[in-house]
Structure 1
Amino acid sequence: MLGDSGDVDENQGTNAPRDPVGVTVSSFEAEFDYNSPTYLDMIDRSLLNLGNNVRLKRAIEKARRGEPVVIAFIGGSITHGAGAAPIHLQSYAYHSYEHFKKMFAPMDSDAVQLIKAGVGGTPSQLGVIRYERDVLRDGSVQPDIVIIEFAVNDADDETRGNCYESLVLKALASGNEPAVILLFSVFKNDWNLQDRLAPVGFHYDLPMVSMKDALVEQFQKTKDEGGVITKEQYFHDIYHPTNVGHRIMADALGNLFRVTDRTNLDQKEDELTDLPIIGNDYVNVKLLDRKNGEQIAQIESGSFCLIDTELQMTEMDDHDYGTPLFPNNWMYVPGETAGDKGFELHLRCSRLILIFKDSDSDKFGTAHIKVDGELVKEADPHQVNWTHCHAMLLFSNKEVGKHVIEIDMAPGQKDKQFTILGFGYVD
């Protein structure tokens, strides 16, 4: 996803009503009817697959008993809340969390915890690496429900669904057996990757919610013909929903919660014994960065010895402040370090993903990556041209072996900067 805006819609005038936190609300937003029969029909169409309900019903019953329940979201900028204002209170993730509390934990809503881990411009190729840190919080959190939203981000997934299915399986395999829900958002041009990713959900009989199924057909209709909302009303820009759009996404998830609650308990849960439909090669991927690198590998940082603090930020959970992503990094700045030696990593692994910083600054330049002495990739931080985290697959082998990874500035780029944010490796 190429944008990460959280600005208020341009059409919201200064005389429009304001919500309780003082954010301007458009007249359309204030008057939108979330209870009309046509709206409810649209929401019903979002339910792509009810799936096996054992895990989700378990979470619902925990909430009813007043026990702690964690509902977690991982995805791209739509999960981050882009297009919503304020982003921390109007995102679909926050609304869904509020829906779940009101439905099932009205007497003790404080027992329900929100984990929101959306990062703009990133595919499941990065999400599967972030899962342990950003969702499980390095083992300190065990979500009861995990919503995965990468349907409009995974065009940039070099593994073409392998990382997505690996992420799904990583979440499903957690010791506390969380309910895993697949959410398919959609772009303004009616595009997403549902055709590639939904078969994963059907394969494991997971609950799935599709905004494409709910919205696209009705976008073509007038109000008299059954149209509920136009593209201009639903989308903040060509990628992200407005406040109303985010609320519609949350209502679609709320509908899944409601239907699941009213459905008889399935006799048993499907066991994770089926062979993967795309691949599971990255289920055990781990993050390596400056924080833990010396414990895992031999690292010679060379002239990549500084730390970059100008990083992509994201509002996690219900926070109104940004959290810097991958702060434990290695940065090269010309003239700031003695010597001219590149970064060198010695690591035993079978698969390796480099995470580096994209930037719109002309101070940043291209780096060359060698694996075992052979030039394999060129990392250009201006390929997308805005500050965010870029995941690049360096190699994927069936067997574990010891590898030497060398990163240095490309010829003619020594006067430029480059930041290695970290690595995802499978050992």
Structure 2
Amino acid sequence: MNKNIDCVNAISSSLYNVGNSLRLRRALGKKNVNLAFAGGSVTKGWDGKQYLEKNYTDHVAEFFRSEYPDKTFSVTNLSTESANSFIGLSITDKVITEADPDIVFIEYAVNNECGHDHIVSYESLVERILALPSEPAVVLIFLINKSLYTCQGYMKMIGSHYDLLSVSVADSIKQLLDEGFDWSVYSDDVIHPNTWGHRFIADCVTKALKEAADKTEDTEYVLPEALYSLDYADYHTFSTDDAMIRKKGFEEISCPEYGEYFNNGVRYTGTNDASVRFEGEFKTLFAAYVHDKTDRFSDADVMIDGEKKAVLQGRSIYGWGNVVLKNVFSFETRGRHSVELKVKDRKKDFILIEFGVS
């Protein structure tokens, strides 16, 4: 690493938008403050080899406790490996009410894609959290990988539209790289920050938090109309053990290896004519299932009202035995539909985690 590189300047330049600070100042005016972090493996604390003893979420919590020693800060980590904003919607639907957050940090810029569905899911997630009864402050964090991939373009626009504190670690890292910075100082692989990298992310976030907390002229926050679309803001999960889900040739399983938010599902048992069925009212259908780059998993057809609408790819070059949540099919309007899932290869495995509807 070039010793002449100015990390202090890079940290300062990470503040993309200070936003409206009213909700943040209200949150910090409470005696007990609930912090929530939503993101992927980085926010979970994975460095590519192991979970770090302290990741950036821990450093941010320590900053709050140091700055406001008379207050109590509790932390809920709503993150899981490979999560994007689709999975964020599922986790939010399950636990956000219980978490009752006062400040929510959202990080999905390296796991999201840049297509329409991911844009809609991201904005829907942001709006859903902003619309919570607790009226939490929302802080957006934008990361980047070694190949300079990031979805921060549309995320910045959403952050500006909703007037949110937005922190671009991606911009800071790109600035450092332009100055001769070695990526290996920040990360030991192509995406996951190491100990130094997590400290750097936290320094960017806490610098922005200080500036936002000092901004006192904001006296009102009004939730705006959608920028792109809020089609998924009412996302609702149907677990596979829900009474409305009818299963034939599938066994219920516990799968804690997929994280605390996806630790139950159903596994195909190889039975002829096996299927999973339900009827429900929705505009868009989602499915969460396990995929892998090997051929251990079969594909599965999804039938809606008797017509094949999609294929869930059990084998995917992007899979590593992890949970993926996909938009299966969207109708123009909301209506009642029948859904059936059928496994294609009887000699292979298939694990369905849940359905989702909006």
Q: TM-score range by the shorter chain?
A: over 0.9
Do 2:114 and 2:151's aligned partners in 1 also have CA atoms closer than 8 Å? Answer: no
The 5 A counterparts of 1:162-177 are 162-177=120-135
- SS in structure 1 opposite 2:24? helix
**What letter is aligned with 2:253?**
I
**Alignment match, 1:73:** 37
**Alignment match, 1:218:** 176
Instruction: Name the Cα RMSD after superposition.
Output: 2.3
Do 2:48 and 2:189's aligned partners in 1 also have CA atoms closer than 8 Å? Answer: no
Flag structure 2 segments of 5+ consecutive residues without an equivalent: none
**Alignment match, 1:286:** 236
**Alignment match, 1:200:** 158
The 5 A counterparts of 1:21-420 are 38-62=6-30, 67-83=31-47, 87=51, 89-104=53-68, 106-108=69-71, 111-134=72-95, 136=96, 139-155=97-113, 159-222=117-180, 229-269=181-221, 271-272=222-223, 274-291=224-241, 293-294=242-243, 297=244, 299-309=245-255, 311-313=257-259, 323=260, 325-334=261-270, 340-359=273-292, 362-383=295-316, 384-410=318-344, 413-420=345-352
Of 409, 414, 421, the match for 2:353: 421
Residues matched between the structures, number? 357
State the distance in 1 between where 2:15 and 2:354 align. Answer: 37
- SS in structure 2 opposite 1:260? helix
- SS in structure 1 opposite 2:251? coil
Do the aligned partners of residues 153 and 218 (structure 1) sit closer, same or farther apart at CA in structure 2, a change above 3 Å counting?
same
Do 1:77 and 1:119's aligned partners in 2 also have CA atoms closer than 8 Å? Answer: yes
State the distance in 2 between where 1:257 and 1:84 align. Answer: 28
Q: What displacement does 1:352 show? A: 1.1
Per-residue Cα deviation, 1:365-421 (whole angstroms, up to 9, x for no partner): 1111111111121112221231211111122224221111111111xx111111110
State the distance in 2 between where 1:209 and 1:54 align. Answer: 17
Do the aligned partners of residues 212 and 117 (structure 1) sit closer, same or farther apart at CA in structure 2, a change above 3 Å counting?
same
Do 1:74 and 1:118's aligned partners in 2 also have CA atoms closer than 8 Å? Answer: yes
Looking at secondary structure, tell me which structure has more strand per residue.
2
Q: What displacement does 1:255 show? A: 0.6
- SS in structure 1 opposite 2:53? helix
Per-residue Cα deviation, 1:26-64 (whole angstroms, up to 9, x for no partner): xx9xxx99xx993321111000000000001112222xx
**What letter is aligned with 2:339?**
I
Q: What displacement does 1:166 show? A: 0.3
State the distance in 1 between where 2:352 and 2:305 align. Answer: 18
State the distance in 2 between where 1:303 and 1:95 align. Answer: 47
State the distance in 1 between where 2:183 and 2:52 align. Answer: 23
State the distance in 2 between where 1:395 and 1:205 align. Answer: 32
Do 1:333 and 1:416's aligned partners in 2 also have CA atoms closer than 8 Å? Answer: no
TM-score under structure 2 normalisation? Answer: 0.93
Do the aligned partners of residues 331 and 156 (structure 1) sit closer, same or farther apart at CA in structure 2, a change above 3 Å counting?
farther
TM-score under structure 1 normalisation? Answer: 0.78
Q: What displacement does 1:85 show? A: 7.7
State the distance in 2 between where 1:71 and 1:122 align. Answer: 19
Give the 4+ runs in structure 1 shifted more than 4 A: none
- SS in structure 1 opposite 2:101? coil
Do the aligned partners of residues 219 and 361 (structure 1) sit closer, same or farther apart at CA in structure 2, a change above 3 Å counting?
closer
Do 1:97 and 1:114's aligned partners in 2 also have CA atoms closer than 8 Å? Answer: yes
Structure with bigger gyration radius: 1
- SS in structure 2 opposite 1:264? coil
State the distance in 2 between where 1:380 and 1:398 align. Answer: 25
- SS in structure 1 opposite 2:297? coil
Q: What displacement does 1:93 show? A: 1.3
Per-residue Cα deviation, 1:256-288 (whole angstroms, up to 9, x for no partner): 12112222241322x11x331111011111111
Per-residue Cα deviation, 1:63-118 (whole angstroms, up to 9, x for no partner): xxxx11011110111111121786253211111111111112x245xx21011122
Q: What displacement does 1:306 show? A: 3.0
- SS in structure 2 opposite 1:148? strand
Q: What displacement does 1:156 show? A: 7.3
State the distance in 1 between where 2:229 and 2:128 align. Answer: 12
Do 2:292 and 2:315's aligned partners in 1 also have CA atoms closer than 8 Å? Answer: yes
Do 2:296 and 2:349's aligned partners in 1 also have CA atoms closer than 8 Å? Answer: yes
State the distance in 1 between where 2:172 and 2:294 align. Answer: 40
Q: What displacement does 1:160 show? A: 3.4
Q: What displacement does 1:308 show? A: 4.7
